[in-house]
Amino acid sequence: MWYARAVDLWTLGWNAGLAAQFEPHAARRLQPARVVLEHQHLYRVQTDTAEILAHVAGGFRHKALGRHEFPAVGDWVAVKPPSAAHRAVIQAILPRRSKFSRKVAGDTTVEQVVAANVDTVFIVMGLDGDFSLRRAERYLITAWDGGASPVIVLNKTDVCEDVPLALAAVQQVASGVPVHAISTRHDPDLSVLDPYLSPGRTVALLGSSGVGKSTIVNRLIGRDVQKTRDVREHDQTGRHTTSHRQLLALAGGALLIDTPGMRELQLWDGATGVSAVFEDVEALALGCRFSNCLHDTEPGCAVKQAVEAGTLPEDRIESYRELQRERRFQASRVDEKAAQDRKRREKVIGKIQRDFTPRG
């Protein structure tokens, strides 16, 4: 168990603002708790007295408009305490101050909240076959969109032939974002990450399989709490060693959310994040002849001129175009789904009204 005893909620990130938000729930004799583990619609939540199993209330489930409105690891929730015959029940979620969201894999237009109320996101990448600047851009966009501060952690310096070159390449696409290079295999000292791990702060570890997240978790906690596996030699990829999201406590008081490796990261929104990650492109775009320039075939495009002059890498503008196309397509799918949901609700409401309208 993560906690087997009573804890001070302030050590989990509780604060005066959350206490004020919780007052209406306290009036209903509900308890505040933080979600520390999510697994197949069951949750482990930590109250000030114990870690307990909980499920969402039936009314909550009925009112939820989508998967994103269900609890996620890191959420603060209002819980009806368990009884001798019943498990604890989550009645409400307090407003999230940040979240890391993605579109679920496949063609379904659904938002998945990976972690909530996160201060810092450690974007973990391997300096082996996993290394991808395009993937780094996607993680950065999603972190900025959700309101958390990203930090890039490049693991496996021991297998990289030119670490300074890799660092420079990442810094070019992650302007202003801290970037740290480590080797969990040969260097047990991760003190470079200490500035982000102050008491009460929540850090989420994100990255694809095999990048070393579980090893980083074990090093930061000081014992093996997560299973680890070596990557396959022939393709430099690994299997998931973390099977579910969970929140863990560090000795220094910081809180760590570990997540399973992601095979793909599709953007859910991207509006704020794309502007933050591609500041250089959008600054150049101000000089384009047309305000709605797509930086493709339009005349008078300042962005294309920068590419031709060699001051903007061509693969960077190609990535920008691709991400903007993905954003526009996703936005259209979201609008379409919202319209379908409205129609379904209107039909249900109309049927209820007809069924209960007295006939003369």
Which regions of the chain are under pLDDT 50?
1-4, 229, 231-242
Listed residues 38, 73, 93: the one ending a domain:
93
Residue 270 lies in a domain: no
Measured distance CA(212)–CA(9) in Å, rounded: 30
pLDDT of residue 2: 43
Counts for the chain of helices (H) and strands (E), in that order: 9, 13
Tokens at 215, concatenated: 């090893």
User: Is residue 202 assigned to a domain?
Assistant: yes
Q: Please tell me the predicted confidence (pLDDT) of residue 3.
A: 43
* Per-residue pLDDT at 29: 94
pLDDT of 71 reads 93
* 161-211 pLDDT, tens digit each: 999 999 999 998 998 899 999 999 888 789 999 999 999 999 999 988 888
284: containing domain: 278-341
Tell me the CATH number at 167: 3.40.50.300
- 16 and 158 in a single domain? The answer is no
> Among 36, 68, 93, where does a domain finish?
93
User: What are the Cα distances from residue 225, in Å, to 74, 206, 256, 351?
Assistant: 19, 17, 12, 53
The reported pLDDT for the residue numbered 345 is: 64
User: Do residue 239 and residue 148 come from a single domain?
Assistant: yes
- Cβ distance 77 to 33 under 8 Å? yes
pLDDT score at 40: 73
Instruction: Let me know whether 21 and 36 are in one domain.
Output: yes
Clarify whether residues 186 and 332 are in a common domain: no
Total tally of structural domains belonging to the chain: 3
Give yes or no: residues 21 and 130 share one domain. Answer: no
Round to whole Å and give the CA distance between 306 and 314.
9
Pair (117, 181) in one structural domain:
yes
**pTM of structure:** 0.81
pLDDT of residue 55: 92
Q: What is the model's pLDDT at position 203?
A: 96
